């Protein structure tokens, strides 16, 4: 086998298997190993011009881009796709990610030319339907959260967090309180929360969790001071628990002159059942790709509209839609705006279409039922597995996620990671592991409302069987897993120590000895 | 409800297993005053055909770009997307997968991202690219912050040719920062950015083709920046231009950011799009966003993983390079498939066709009495000065069914000097008939 200087294989199937894989488990060379610079799958006329207008900046270097004809491209991407687990092919109980069913009506509607083939800067008079759609989506989001305003434009949840915290910063400055430089973040928070606060120059001050997995209002009060600008709290929290003292926390935060940013990643547990505005939040992002079923797409695109309380509404960014006598107006500028604009154009329109389609399909009644079913499913998993798995926070019913820790595996020599990898061999996507950080060896399971009782039963049966086997000492099954996936465990240390981040022609690299 | 699998009978069974009296018992941690204490007043669930009718009625109120002659660009471009692209990205395994946290069962997404990174690095002429950011505008803000981390210097100078929305996003990210210098808009292609570079400069940001369509000299900018220890950040909003224009990496760029929408992605009224970012090898550890790398599995087979994640928020929390989490995975896939279909031969032909049509457009506009084309150089986009305010003129042309471009004043409402300027773009979809119709209508409106 020929190896390059970095010791990596130069092709697929370097051990045993052929490049075409076996049976229905495909293996597939890289695009650059199949295609070349002469092939193309797009027919375009080859035009010539006498004189260009490129002012001497024409390309002299080669692109060296491989091309494929249409049948080759079709096969390449279909074969690659089959090496992915997906919601449509099996349960995907990834905690904190809300991997629910993605209705195909959403996709069909997003592709109507009246939505997909309109330009963000064509005259506003020619896109009144698009503005109406944004207005309707805003109405649903504000109604479900009981808030005064919504900024639709953030591109994803973390971007929404950024915008929400920017609005809070602007509001504090407007009050003459720019000296507030501290943001409280509970230890159980998503990593994006402290990253967002730090991004804006805030000092992050952690708030410890109580033994029961919830935030202690007394600990919040103790941490509050005239330097605190805001608290960033996830509710339901990352342990899958509804914060029982959330109203008292909001009151304490407001009394101290700070704002309450709520991470809305877990809104799926409470939509239509609890309105965050009633709990005293000032800003909360809503992940349309989680709660409102827009596809996750292998890691995005997301969409993270932020709802805002009356206190923060004046600090919303542009653009937003406003009703006037002549129809809907798109406000793209505000003189001396505190915040301005967080993205070019108007945000993730394609995701707005899908989310509104989903909302109309469910209706207010269906959304509430979906939230309750999501909570029902998580509690069902917890109830079925708690006799064998360890439940770190048994005091409260769980919300939409069931959290276990690894103490039940202590004597087995099997880690949370090993356990998760064994789940792959049983046909399930693993749960979220080692998060939240407040629990040792966390396993965070979010089934969503999309799973039937039959699937949940099968999942619980498999989980219980795996746990029994681990405790019976069959360690090998776990440490060697997965064995049935397109790849065995991958060497992540090597990937980080000797980063190979793009393909190089093997000929360009000095060859090491066989 | 068609998306919810449980029957009432099953719900009751499950509550029994849980030992809960009813659904409300599961929400016992919620303060009583907040649980179902309201009437939402939202409509009830609907059959698919009624939802579809509702959405179609909204869509029909919009004038789609394909409905008539169309010349709107300024950061988003209407290109043809092959049918294969949209078919493939709707496959379940691409559409309904998430971030490849479990590489053993995500090799499809990971290998695609590795191919995507390679394609992006190649068209930009850079060492490495990441697995995409939200879009070009937020990518530009990220690049600026990255340059500060790399140089440990503060001053950032934004060229007057930078897209005004991009400038505004950088301003929002660096709110009230005294070291951010935004040069005045330069519709004529003029620029004095090189005089701004000093010893405290972290980076200069230059867009090419710029917002007004002019091509900018990157080589002398890179030399001037590097002489002072500053970095050159190059922004490209029309990525098709790289089929015909020299790669920024070959001209000395240190960080290249682009809006990738033009390849594989529809206009979508502004989103979702995808940010491309590429840089030099030695700067990788300060680059934001996900990176996919090659490795081997336990059997020695080649495989791919997300790597260098110690830069990222889920590991580093408040010490991360960025708070970014989600990328634009599916848009990156569309880009990669379209680019894979084009290949070098197709990408170059596509770029040439765009330039070819833009030359025809420029020549036709120059022939309209009263219209002045400001560009000596361009790729597929140009700025014209008309004798009338642009907003009203564009509106009247829209009533004739022609979407004639973007009045510059829509993006720079406080600058009276741009009131009569319109930015127009041509692509491979622009026909001779479209150009004739525009020239004729413009001639009549200005008569």
For helices B48-59 and A128-145, the axis angle rounded to 10 degrees is 130
Residue B322: pLDDT band by 50, 70, 90 thresholds? confident
Contact B242, B268 (CB under 8 A): no
Distance from CA of A325 to the nearest CA of B (A): 18
Q: Judge whether residue B364 has pLDDT over 90.
A: yes
- Cβ–Cβ pairs < 8 A, chains A and B: 724
CB contact under 8 A, B38 and A353: no
CA angle B288, B291, B293 (to 5 degrees): 155
Q: Strand runs (DSSP E) across A257-378, as ranges?
A: 259-263, 283-285, 306-308, 320-324, 327-331
- The residue of A297, A362, A366, A427 whose CB has the most chain B CBs within 10 angstroms, and thus the best one to mutate to test that interface, is A297
How many Cα atoms occupy the beta-carbon half-sphere of A387 within 13 Å?
A: 10
Residues 387-416 of A with CB under 8 A from B: 396-397, 399
- The residue of B21, B38, B87, B108 whose CB has the most chain A CBs within 10 angstroms, and thus the best one to mutate to test that interface, is B108
Tell whether A447 lies on the interface with B, counting CB pairs under 8 A: no
Question: Does residue A79 fall inside a structural domain?
Answer: no
Chain B positions touching A116 (Cβ under 8 A) are 266-268
Strand-pair partners of B155: B201
Last residue of a domain, one of A337, A360, A383: A360
pLDDT at B311: 75
What CA–CA distance (Å, rounded) separates A163 from A313? 12
Average pLDDT (B197-207) is 98
Concatenated DSSP letters for A141-181? HHHHHT-SEEE---SSHHHHHHHHHHHHHHHHHHTT-TT--
Question: Does residue A153 fall inside a structural domain?
Answer: yes
Same domain assignment for residues A415 and A487: yes
For helices B164-173 and B136-151, the axis angle rounded to 10 degrees is 50
Chain B positions touching A117 (Cβ under 8 A) are 64-66, 78, 266-267
Same domain assignment for residues A262 and A127: yes
Residues 136-175 of A with CB under 8 A from B: 136, 140, 143-144, 146, 155-159, 161-162, 166, 169-170
Work out the number of other CB atoms within 10 angstroms of the CB of residue A376.
Answer: 25
Distance from CA of B152 to the nearest CA of A (A): 16
Report the CATH number that the domain containing residue A234 is assigned in CATH.
3.40.640.10
Write phi, then psi, for B126 (nearest 5 degrees). Answer: -115, 170
pLDDT at A191: 85
Same domain assignment for residues A336 and A372: no
Nearest to A351 by CA among B270, B137, B385: B270
Same domain assignment for residues A337 and A462: no
Average pLDDT (B7-29) is 97
Q: Strand runs (DSSP E) across A272-416, as ranges?
A: 283-285, 306-308, 320-324, 327-331, 402-404
Distance from CA of A33 to the nearest CA of B (A): 11
Same domain assignment for residues A402 and A341: no
B63, B297, B345 ranked by CB distance to A37: nearest? B345
Give me the domain span that covers residue A436. Answer: 364-495
Please state the domain count of chain A.
2
A115, A399, A490 ranked by CB distance to B104: nearest? A490
Same domain assignment for residues A354 and A369: no
Work out the number of other CB atoms within 10 angstroms of the CB of residue A175.
Answer: 11
pLDDT at A11: 59
The tokens 């776990």 sit on which residue?
Answer: A478
pLDDT at A18: 45
What CA–CA distance (Å, rounded) separates B204 from B213? 19
Sign of CA dihedral A479, A485, A487, A493: negative
What CA–CA distance (Å, rounded) separates B327 from A289? 12
First to last CA, chain B: 60
Tell me the pLDDT of chain A averaged across its residues.
93
The tokens 């060896």 sit on which residue?
Answer: A441
pLDDT at A337: 79
Chain A positions touching B52 (Cβ under 8 A) are 105, 108-109
- B224-251 pLDDT per residue, tens: 999 999 999 999 999 999 999 999 999 9
DSSP A186: E
Q: What would the 3-class secondary structure string for chain B be?
A: CCCCCCCHHHHHHHHHHHCCCCHHHHHCCCCHHHECCCCCCCCECCCHHHHHHHHHHHHCCECCHHHCCECCCCCCCCCCCCHHHHHHHCCHHHHCCCCCCCHHHEHHHHHHHHHHHHHHHHHHCCCEECCCECCHHHHHHHHHHHHHHHHCCCEEEECCCCCHHHHHHHHHHCCCCCCEEECCCCCCCCCCHHHHCCCCEEEEEEECCCCCCCCCCHHHHHHHHHHCCCEEEEEECCHHHHHCECCHHHHCCCEEEEECCCCCCCCHHHCCCCEEEEECHHHHHHCCCCCEEEEEECCCCEEEEECCHHHCHHHHHHHCCCCCCCCCHHHHHHHHHHHHHHHHHHHHHHHHHHHHHHHHHHHHHHCCCCCEECCCCCCCEEEEECCCCHHHHHHHHHHCCCECCEEHHHCCCCCHHHCCEEEEECCCCCCHHHHHHHHHHHHHHHC
Tokens of A480: 């060697």
B59, B298, B310 ranked by CB distance to A489: nearest? B298
Distance from CA of B196 to the nearest CA of A (A): 24
The tokens 């996750």 sit on which residue?
Answer: A296
Same domain assignment for residues A230 and A329: yes
CB contact under 8 A, A89 and B131: no
- B46-90 pLDDT per residue, tens: 999 999 999 999 999 999 999 999 999 999 999 999 999 999 999
pLDDT at A339: 84
- The residue of A502, A503, A509 whose CB has the most chain B CBs within 10 angstroms, and thus the best one to mutate to test that interface, is A502
Last residue of a domain, one of A360, A386, A404: A360
What CA–CA distance (Å, rounded) separates A363 from A360? 5
A49, A88, A195 ranked by CB distance to B320: nearest? A195
Question: Does residue A506 fall inside a structural domain?
Answer: no
Tokens of B2: 């068609």
Question: Does residue A239 fall inside a structural domain?
Answer: yes
Question: Does residue A7 fall inside a structural domain?
Answer: no
- The residue of A39, A58, A77, A277 whose CB has the most chain B CBs within 10 angstroms, and thus the best one to mutate to test that interface, is A77
What CA–CA distance (Å, rounded) separates A437 from A447? 20
Distance from CA of A411 to the nearest CA of B (A): 26
A114, A195, A278 ranked by CB distance to B37: nearest? A278
What CA–CA distance (Å, rounded) separates A422 from A415? 11
Tokens of B89: 């990205």
The tokens 């457009």 sit on which residue?
Answer: B361
Last residue of a domain, one of A360, A391, A421: A360
pLDDT at A341: 95
Same domain assignment for residues A317 and A464: no
CB contact under 8 A, A487 and B303: yes
Report the CATH number that the domain containing residue A459 is assigned in CATH.
3.90.1150.10
Tell whether A25 lies on the interface with B, counting CB pairs under 8 A: no
Same domain assignment for residues A336 and A380: no
Chain centroid, CA B160 distance in Å: 19
Question: Does residue A19 fall inside a structural domain?
Answer: no
Q: Max CA-CA distance within chain B?
A: 82
Strand-pair partners of B279: B128, B255
Tell whether A434 lies on the interface with B, counting CB pairs under 8 A: no
Distance from CA of A468 to the nearest CA of B (A): 21
Contact A307, A315 (CB under 8 A): no
Question: Does residue A333 fall inside a structural domain?
Answer: yes
DSSP A201: T
Chain B positions touching A9 (Cβ under 8 A) are 296, 300-302
Region of A153 on the Ramachandran plot (φ > 0 left; ψ -120 to 50 alpha; else beta): alpha
Residue A285 DSSP SS3: strand
Write phi, then psi, for A419 (nearest 5 degrees). Answer: -60, -45
In this structure, chain B runs to a length of 447
Question: Does residue A101 fall inside a structural domain?
Answer: no
Chain B positions touching A356 (Cβ under 8 A) are 55
B27, B57, B325 ranked by CB distance to A192: nearest? B325
Burial A180-212 (b: 16+ CB within 10 A, else e): bebbbbbebbbbbbbbbbbbbebebbbbebeee
Tokens of B302: 């080649």
CB contact under 8 A, B131 and A299: yes
User: B342: nearest CA in chain A?
Assistant: A40
Tell whether A26 lies on the interface with B, counting CB pairs under 8 A: no
Q: List C-alpha distances in Å: A49 to B239, B356, B360.
A: 21, 7, 10
Write phi, then psi, for B229 (nearest 5 degrees). Answer: 75, 20
Same domain assignment for residues A233 and A153: yes
Tell whether A201 lies on the interface with B, counting CB pairs under 8 A: no
CB contact under 8 A, B66 and A191: no
CB contact under 8 A, B355 and A14: no
pLDDT at B162: 98
Tokens of B368: 């309209």
Q: Give 10-residue mean pLDDT values along chain A (514 residues).
A: 47 50 81 96 93 96 97 97 96 96 98 98 97 98 98 95 96 96 92 91 93 94 98 95 97 98 96 97 97 95 97 95 91 87 97 98 98 98 97 94 96 96 97 93 97 98 98 97 96 94 78 40
Q: Which domains does chain B have, with CATH numbers?
A: 65-81+344-446 (3.90.1150.10), 83-338 (3.40.640.10)
Same domain assignment for residues A353 and A427: no
User: B429: nearest CA in chain A?
Assistant: A44
Strand-pair partners of A218: none
Tell whether A331 lies on the interface with B, counting CB pairs under 8 A: no
pLDDT at A3: 41
How many Cα atoms occupy the beta-carbon half-sphere of A469 within 13 Å?
A: 16
User: A457: nearest CA in chain B?
Assistant: B14
Same domain assignment for residues A351 and A380: no
């Amino acid at each position: 086998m020929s190896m390059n200087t970095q010791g990596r294989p130069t092709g697929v199937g370097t051990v045993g298997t052929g490049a075409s894989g076996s049976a229905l488990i495909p293996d597939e060379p890289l695009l650059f190993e199949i295609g070349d610079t002469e092939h193309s799958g797009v027919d375009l006329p080859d035009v010539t011009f006498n004189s260009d207008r490129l002012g001497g900046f024409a390309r002299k270097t080669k692109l060296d881009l491989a091309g494929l004809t249409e049948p080759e491209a079709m096969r390449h991407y279909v074969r690659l796709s089959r090496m992915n687990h997906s919601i449509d092919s099996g349960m995907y109980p990834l905690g904190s990610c809300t991997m629910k069913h993605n209705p195909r009506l959403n996709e069909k509607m997003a592709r109507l030319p009246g939505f997909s083939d309109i330009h963000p800067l064509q005259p506003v008079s020619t896109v009144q339907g698009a503005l109406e759609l944004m207005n309707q989506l805003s109405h649903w989001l504000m109604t479900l959260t009981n808030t005064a305003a919504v900024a639709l434009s953030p591109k994803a949840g973390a971007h929404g967090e950024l915008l929400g915290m920017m609005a809070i910063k602007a509001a504090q400055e407007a009050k003459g309180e720019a000296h507030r430089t501290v943001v409280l973040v509970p230890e159980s928070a998503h990593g994006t929360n402290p990253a967002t606060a730090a991004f804006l120059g805030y000092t992050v001050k952690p708030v410890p969790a109580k033994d029961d997995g919830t935030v202690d209002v007394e600990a919040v009060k103790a941490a509050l001071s005239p330097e605190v600008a805001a608290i960033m709290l996830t509710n339901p929290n990352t342990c899958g628990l509804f914060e029982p003292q959330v109203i008292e926390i909001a009151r304490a935060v407001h009394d101290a002159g700070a704002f309450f940013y709520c991470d809305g990643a877990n809104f799926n547990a409470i939509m239509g059942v609890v309105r965050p505005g009633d709990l005293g939040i000032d800003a909360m992002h809503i992940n349309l790709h989680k709660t409102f079923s827009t596809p996750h797409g292998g890691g995005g695109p997301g969409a993270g509209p932020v709802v805002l309380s009356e206190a923060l509404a004046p600090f919303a960014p542009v653009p937003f839609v406003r009703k006037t006598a002549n129809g809907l107006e798109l406000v793209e500028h505000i003189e001396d705006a505190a915040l301005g604009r967080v993205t070019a154009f108007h945000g993730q329109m394609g995701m707005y279409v899908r989310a509104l389609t989903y909302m109309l399909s469910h209706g207010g009644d269906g959304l509430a039922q979906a939230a309750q079913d999501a909570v029902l499913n998580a509690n069902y998993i917890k109830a079925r597995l708690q006799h064998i798995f360890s439940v770190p926070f048994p005091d409260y019913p769980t919300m939409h996620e069931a959290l276990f820790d690894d103490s039940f595996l202590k004597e087995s020599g099997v880690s949370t990671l090993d356990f998760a990898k064994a789940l792959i061999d049983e046909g399930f996507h693993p749960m979220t592991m080692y998060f939240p950080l407040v629990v040792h060896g966390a396993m965070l399971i979010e089934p969503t409302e999309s799973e039937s009782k039959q699937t949940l039963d099968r999942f619980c049966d498999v989980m219980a069987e795996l746990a029994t086997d681990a405790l019976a000492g069959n360690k090998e099954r776990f440490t060697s897993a997965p064995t049935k996936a397109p790849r065995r465990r991958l060497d992540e240390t090597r990937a980080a120590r000797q980063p190979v981040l793009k393909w190089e022609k093997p000929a360009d690299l000095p060859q090491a000895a066989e | 409800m068609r998306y919810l699998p449980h029957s009432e009978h099953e719900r009751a069974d499950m509550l029994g297993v849980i030992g809960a009296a009813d659904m409300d018992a599961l929400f016992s941690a919620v303060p009583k005053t907040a649980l179902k204490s309201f009437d939402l007043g939202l409509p009830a669930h609907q059959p698919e055909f009624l939802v579809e009718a509702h959405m179609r009625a909204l869509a029909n109120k919009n004038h789609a770009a394909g409905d008539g002659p169309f010349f709107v660009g300024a950061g988003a471009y209407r290109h043809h997307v092959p049918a294969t692209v949209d078919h493939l990205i709707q496959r379940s395994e691409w559409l309904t997968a998430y971030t490849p946290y479990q590489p053993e069962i995500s090799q499809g997404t990971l290998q695609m991202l590795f191919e995507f990174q390679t394609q992006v690095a190649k068209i930009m002429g850079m060492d490495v690219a990441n697995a995409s950011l939200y879009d070009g505008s937020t990518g530009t803000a990220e690049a600026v912050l990255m340059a500060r981390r790399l140089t440990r210097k503060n001053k950032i100078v934004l060229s007057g040719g930078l897209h005004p929305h991009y400038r505004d996003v950088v301003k929002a990210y660096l709110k009230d920062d005294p070291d951010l210098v935004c040069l005045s808009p330069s519709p004529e292609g003029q620029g004095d950015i090189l005089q701004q570079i000093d010893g405290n400069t972290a980076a200069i940001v230059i867009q090419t083709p710029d917002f007004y369509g002019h091509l900018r000299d990157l080589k002398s900018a890179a030399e001037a920046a590097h002489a002072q220890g500053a970095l050159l950040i190059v922004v490209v909003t029309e990525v098709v231009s790289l089929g015909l224009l020299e790669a920024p990496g070959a001209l000395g760029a240190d960080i290249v950011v682009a809006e990738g929408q033009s390849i594989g992605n529809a206009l979508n009224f502004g989103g979702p799009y995808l940010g491309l970012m590429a840089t030099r090898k030695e700067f990788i550890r300060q680059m934001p966003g996900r990176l996919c790398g090659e490795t081997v599995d336990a059997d020695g087979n080649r495989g791919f993983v997300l790597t260098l994640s110690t830069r990222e928020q889920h590991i580093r929390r408040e010490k991360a390079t960025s708070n970014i989490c989600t990328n634009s995975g599916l848009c990156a896939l569309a880009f990669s498939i379209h680019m894979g279909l084009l290949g070098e031969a197709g990408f170059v032909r596509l770029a040439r066709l765009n330039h070819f049509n833009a030359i025809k457009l420029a020549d036709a506009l120059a022939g309209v009495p009263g219209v002045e084309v400001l560009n000596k150089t361009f790729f597929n986009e140009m700025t014209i000065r008309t004798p009338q305010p642009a907003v009203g003129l564009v509106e009247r042309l829209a009533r004739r069914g022609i979407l004639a471009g973007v009045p510059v004043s829509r993006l720079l409402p406080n600058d009276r000097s741009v009131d009569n300027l319109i930015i127009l773009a041509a692509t491979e979809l622009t026909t001779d008939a479209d150009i004739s119709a525009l020239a004729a209508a413009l001639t009549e409106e200005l008569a």
